[in-house]
Structure formats: C-alpha cells, structure tokens
Amino acid sequence: MEILINNLQGDSEIDSEVSDLITKVSKRVLEVEKVDKEVSIALVDNQYIKELNDKYRSKNEATDVLSFPQEDENLLGDIIISIPRAKEQAQEYNHSLAREIGFLTVHGMLHLTGYDHHEPQKKEKMRAKEEEILAHFDLSRD
C-alpha cells in the first residue's frame, strides 16, 4: 500500500509532519478497512478544488476535500485536499491544523472505501469510523 502525496498549491510549503500524518492516517484507514491499494493525495489551493468541484459535482465553490474512486486493481483512488480551506476550518472549529488535515484525510479515505453520508444512518456510521481512526492518533475532537 503506497500513499503518494503531491503538494500542488504554491502558497505554503507542507512540512514533513503534515505529510507524515497524512501517510499514517491513510495507511490506518487501509489497514482497518483491509484494503491493499495505492492512494494518491493532492494538496491544492481553493481555486484548484473549486474548478474540480464545479466540473465533477456542478458546485461552483471551493470545498475542503474531494474523493475520486478508481476502478483499478492497484489504485484505490485520488483525494484532493484544499490546504487553505483546512486552515480556515481549523480556526473556525478551534482545533489544530493537524486535526483538520487528519479529519479530511480520513473522510476522503473512507469515501474511497465505500462510506458515504447522504443518509442519516450512513452518516452516523461514517462519523463513528472517522472518530475511531482519529482517536488512534490522538486527534479526537475535544
């Protein structure tokens, strides 16, 4: 299981702690869900994710994370995370950037493994799994 991280946003550098966290959290989801596939994660700016959100979801606005499952025996899919949005949300929810990026990574990974949150029961199941994985890294909500 390989996790490929590409920093495509030019505003700020991503330090090794953030990329290590993304890798560890992603691998934990794969272990828990018993999946042995590669995942590609792109760290982008708001404009980049807005264009993808408009193109694939017909929502002409920036979002925090997008997931694109792949029909490939070796590649589970792609996750796109907006770093500026993650920073905004960390401040808004009064928690660390690490916690927010951890959450967005878990959220995207769970979508790739088949979870969704469109129905209340499925949303509850997904949120419980997110918190279980985040707790493993001491990133639970306070």
Q: 92-116: per-residue pLDDT in tens?
A: 999 999 999 999 999 999 999 999 9
12 or 67, greater pLDDT: 67
Q: 45-56: per-residue pLDDT in tens?
A: 999 999 999 999
Of 11-20, 31-40, 63-72, minimum mean pLDDT range = 11-20
User: Which residues are part of a known binding site for Zn(2+)?
Assistant: 107, 111, 117
Of 66-70, 78-82, 120-124, minimum mean pLDDT range = 120-124
User: Which residues are part of a known binding site?
Assistant: 107, 111, 117
CATH number belonging to domain 3-136: 3.40.390.30
Query: Would you give the distance in Å from CA 118 to the centre of its chain?
Result: 17
Residue 16's pLDDT is what? 83
Residue 11 predicted with pLDDT over 70: no
CA pair distance 127, 115, nearest whole angstrom: 10
9 or 7, greater pLDDT: 7
